[in-house]
Amino acid sequence: MPKKASRGAKPPKARTAGQSSSPADQKSLHGETAKTADLAGDTVGPGQILSSNQGLKISDDQNSLRAGVRGPTLLDDFHLREKITHFDHERIPERVVHARGAAAHGVFQVYEDLSDLTMAGLLTDPSRRTPVFVRFSTVAGSRGSSDCARDVRGFAVKFYTDEGVWDLVGNNMPVFFIQDAIKFPDLIHAVKPEPNNEIPQAASAHDTFWDFVSLTPESTHMLMWVMSDRALPRSFAMMEGFGVHTFRLVNAAGKARFVKFHWKPLKGVQSLVWDEAQKISGKDPDFNRRDLFEAIERGDYPEWEFGLQIVEEQDEFAFGFDLLDATKLIPEELVPVRRVGRLTLNRNPDNFFAETEQVAFHTGHVVPGIDFTNDPLLQGRLFSYLDTQLRRVGPNFAELPINRPLNPVHNNQRDAMGRVTINSGRVSYFPNRLGDGCPMHAPGAADAFVSYAERVDGEKIRARSDSFADHFSQATQFWNSMSDWEQAHIAEAFAFELNQVESEDVRHHVMNEILVNVADALAQAVSEQTGIAVAPVGTAANPTPSAPTPSGPLKPKAKRLSSPALSQDKPGDTIKGRKIAILGGDGVDARQLKAVTDALTAEAALVELIAPRAGTIADSAGQSQKVNRAAVNAPSVVYDAVVVPGGASAAELATSGLAIHFINEAYRHGKPIACIGEGRALLDASAVGKVGAADGVVVGETAAAIEGLMAALLQHRFPRRAIAGVPA
């Protein structure tokens, strides 16, 4: 456990962000003699001063106005509100971010009474089955983009509790790119398609994104996550979810504790590899949403356990990082995740638009027993989400069936577009006598929401706490926690992205101000694949091994940090839902086909027979076998493993270019391959037979091959294979 803070621990000091200079001799943006606004627009150029939409020069665009350096964001931050309001309304009617999504209905049930931690009914009554609606999404792409882009995945859960709606709006990564919501429009503008040509779609591999992050060192930890395989989930049911922010749990006695929320998938955490993800984007851009829909339809309900990391208030400053910093996580080795309940998705939407598109999440939707902290990213989201829904869905979005709470709503709202409720009576105000004072306040009611009574004291200031200044330690910790193949994938991802960047200046700064401060091995590996030189320490380009501005000093001890819980290099517990391709044709060995199919379906895996043509084939016993997909419609990338039975079909497959490509590609992507009896002929005809089969390639007779296949499937992939000589 972390070392406890001493009594009377002083809050962290303020740190101001770096600011652009403003020379007195700078000219007006419209020329020295301009009298009216230039309606033709302007071009970004040297010497320009950032201003509001009303022309007011802005002194600090990187820190929201708050009460003290760790205090709450203030409503009178007009620049924050103007900037985010404009950003929230930039897309009609599509969501600005998280536009491409898929969703499902389900139920949540807590395992035990947690009333010692919170008064939230869904977490204190194990007999309650709380309905939920969960939406998964990518962030950067449009509605028409691919499921398999390298991106963060949204993981938003709407709980329809007896006390009202709670929206836990999170991601599949526990940290974020920025520390303050005022920077969110800049982040998304940078990662979205570039405004001059609307290119590229749903991709971060371009100049503007890397220009932004090279100047925003607080993004470094998140970059490590996004460049890892976590950005390429195999399915929504095989990815974790996180609340990202530090929240509060408050019990009936008013006792509060800090909490981080987690979702742990029962199928384990599994990912795609980059080459595979790119090919899936072309072969089946609906890969993840199709997987979710079909799994629920067949009764293979996705499930997660709900986890809590609890930190007592007296331990707020006991870590080497700030709990209010959304670019940091709490290592599970320091504070274990307590699994307290289960989420099950068991029903698909009846209408995609009415439910999945019109669902409106808001971080400010909480219930008694759950409250906020002064995390400056969370504070900004409390404004942004509501503002977005008002513009996207309308002021009466809460009346739509998918957003409506279970408990009755009584207030004095009557008008605005999209009104559904028809209220009778003449009273729509408070206080009133004509309506007997109703709807009335509920002071002292046990189930009424009362904000946690946190003392707030500080000057109105635009500054960042010094405790937010360490931007590299946890990025290094993430790198150190990865296995060899995970590190290789991260380096390859950075290289792929930076090879798309045209600006040599941006490439240089990413390497010599970001990557070199994470790990020497990472910088060297990326340098070898991109040709970007690592400037030797002591040169003009890199005079000292220091952090870029604005950032705090580097912490040498970070080189020893590690958290094994962050690695995906772990075997699974189940093969439920895995999709296995069986390659066959006329004359396929009937006994082998049945034995493999029976063994896999007994473990709730999916089996598809792929043959040269659609329809049916005749097996070795003369029985008709239904073909699930013709070979031309069955790319290897949508399957988790491949089996080649013996029989007369094996020799024909060994001469099929499609079948050979299928084996080569599956091998390159680390997938289990099983060849039974004569099925070995296809392996020998492929490049795999020439390079020598590695782990996860099983060859033998029926029983042994099935046993080996089952063991290989629990490993998910075999990423250490030598694939240089295997074309695909």
Please indicate, yes or no, whether residues 560 and 586 belong to a single structural domain of this protein: no
CA distances (Å), 528 to each of 113, 274, 479, 493, 584, in order?
A: 55, 19, 18, 13, 43
| % the chain with pLDDT above 90 | 78
Model confidence pLDDT, tens digit, residues 102-160: 999 999 999 999 999 999 999 999 999 999 999 999 999 999 999 999 999 999 999 99
Please indicate, yes or no, whether residues 490 and 584 belong to a single structural domain of this protein: no
With a CB cutoff of 8 Å and minimum separation 6, the contacts of 466 are 12, 13, 14, 15, 69, 552
How confident is the model at residue 499, as a pLDDT? 98
* pLDDT band (50, 70, 90) for residue 35: very low
Tell the burial category of 559 from Cβ atoms under 10 Å away from its Cβ (0-12, 13-18, 19+): middle
3 state SS of 341: strand
Model confidence pLDDT, tens digit, residues 427-468: 998 999 999 999 988 887 888 888 999 988 899 999 999 999
How confident is the model at residue 32, as a pLDDT? 37
Please indicate, yes or no, whether residues 96 and 176 belong to a single structural domain of this protein: yes
How confident is the model at residue 42, as a pLDDT? 55
- Tokens, residue 373: 């902290």
Model confidence pLDDT, tens digit, residues 617-661: 999 999 999 999 999 999 999 999 999 999 999 999 999 999 999
* pLDDT band (50, 70, 90) for residue 691: confident
Domain encompassing residue 128? 78-225+234-399
Q: What is the mean pLDDT of residues 488-511?
A: 97
User: Count of CB atoms within 10 A of residue 344's CB?
Assistant: 16
Helix ranges (H only) for 259-356 are 274-283, 287-297
How confident is the model at residue 338, as a pLDDT? 98
| 241 backbone dihedrals φ, ψ, rounded to 5° | -130, 150
How confident is the model at residue 444, as a pLDDT? 77
Determine the Cα–Cα distance for residues 560 and 572; give it in Å rounded to an integer: 28
Find, among 239, 233, 241, the residue nearest to 272 by Cα: 233
How confident is the model at residue 49, as a pLDDT? 80
The chain-wide mean pLDDT, for the chain, equals: 91
Asked if residue 698 lies in contact with residue 667, where contact means CB atoms within 8 angstroms, the answer is no
- Please identify, among 375, 399, 423, the residue that sits at the C-terminal boundary of a domain: 399
Helix (H) or strand (E) holding 610: strand 606-611
Catalytic residue among 63, 79, 98, 221: 98
| % the chain with pLDDT above 70 | 92
How confident is the model at residue 31, as a pLDDT? 36
Greatest pairwise CA separation for the chain in angstroms: 92
Please indicate, yes or no, whether residues 527 and 559 belong to a single structural domain of this protein: yes
Please indicate, yes or no, whether residues 307 and 258 belong to a single structural domain of this protein: yes
How confident is the model at residue 17, as a pLDDT? 41
Asked if residue 669 lies in contact with residue 275, where contact means CB atoms within 8 angstroms, the answer is yes
- Tokens, residue 610: 């792929």
Please indicate, yes or no, whether residues 595 and 664 belong to a single structural domain of this protein: yes
Q: What is the mean pLDDT of residues 703-714?
A: 96
How confident is the model at residue 593, as a pLDDT? 98
pLDDT exceeds cutoff 80 at 50: no
How confident is the model at residue 22, as a pLDDT? 36
- Range from 144-153, 407-416, 705-714 carrying the lowest mean pLDDT: 407-416
Please indicate, yes or no, whether residues 91 and 146 belong to a single structural domain of this protein: yes
Please give the single-letter amino acid code of residue 493.
A
Q: What is the total count of domains within the chain?
A: 3
Q: What is the CATH number of the domain that holds 627?
A: 3.40.50.880
Please indicate, yes or no, whether residues 476 and 560 belong to a single structural domain of this protein: yes
Per-position b or e across 97-128, b if 16+ CB within 10 A of its CB: bbbbbbbbbbbbbbeeebbebbbbbbbbbeeb
How confident is the model at residue 138, as a pLDDT? 98
How confident is the model at residue 336, as a pLDDT? 98
Note whether residue 70 is domain-resident.
Answer: no
* pLDDT band (50, 70, 90) for residue 422: very high
Note whether residue 449 is domain-resident.
Answer: no
3 state SS of 303: strand
* pLDDT band (50, 70, 90) for residue 545: low
* pLDDT band (50, 70, 90) for residue 52: confident
The bridge status of strand 14-15 relative to strand 66-67 is unpaired
Told to judge if 171 belongs to the known catalytic residues of this protein, a careful annotator would answer yes
Residue carrying structure tokens 């013709």: 630
Determine the Cα–Cα distance for residues 634 and 468; give it in Å rounded to an integer: 49
Please give the single-letter amino acid code of residue 80.
L
With a CB cutoff of 8 Å and minimum separation 6, the contacts of 629 are 608, 610, 614
- pLDDT, greater one: 535 or 40: 535
Note whether residue 18 is domain-resident.
Answer: no
Q: What is the CATH number of the domain that holds 527?
A: 1.20.1370.20
pLDDT exceeds cutoff 60 at 15: no
* pLDDT band (50, 70, 90) for residue 178: very high
Please indicate, yes or no, whether residues 545 and 592 belong to a single structural domain of this protein: no
Q: What is the mean pLDDT of residues 27-41?
A: 38
200 cis-preceded (ω within 30 degrees of 0): yes
Q: What is the CATH number of the domain that holds 346?
A: 2.40.180.10
Asked if residue 60 lies in contact with residue 182, where contact means CB atoms within 8 angstroms, the answer is no
How confident is the model at residue 14, as a pLDDT? 54
- Please identify, among 543, 566, 589, the residue that sits at the C-terminal boundary of a domain: 566
Model confidence pLDDT, tens digit, residues 266-290: 999 999 999 999 999 999 999 999 9
pTM of the model as a whole: 0.91
Catalytic residue among 171, 480, 512, 664: 171
Asked if residue 210 lies in contact with residue 498, where contact means CB atoms within 8 angstroms, the answer is yes
pLDDT exceeds cutoff 60 at 5: no
Q: Taken in order 480, 485, 491, 494, is the CA torsion positive or negative? A: negative
Please indicate, yes or no, whether residues 175 and 294 belong to a single structural domain of this protein: yes
CA distances (Å), 28 to each of 21, 45, 52, 57, 218, in order?
A: 15, 12, 15, 12, 33
* pLDDT band (50, 70, 90) for residue 18: very low
- Range from 49-63, 191-205, 483-497, 555-569 carrying the lowest mean pLDDT: 49-63
Alpha-carbon Rg of the chain, whole angstroms?
28
Told to judge if 98 belongs to the known catalytic residues of this protein, a careful annotator would answer yes
Note whether residue 651 is domain-resident.
Answer: yes
Q: What is the mean pLDDT of residues 63-86?
A: 88
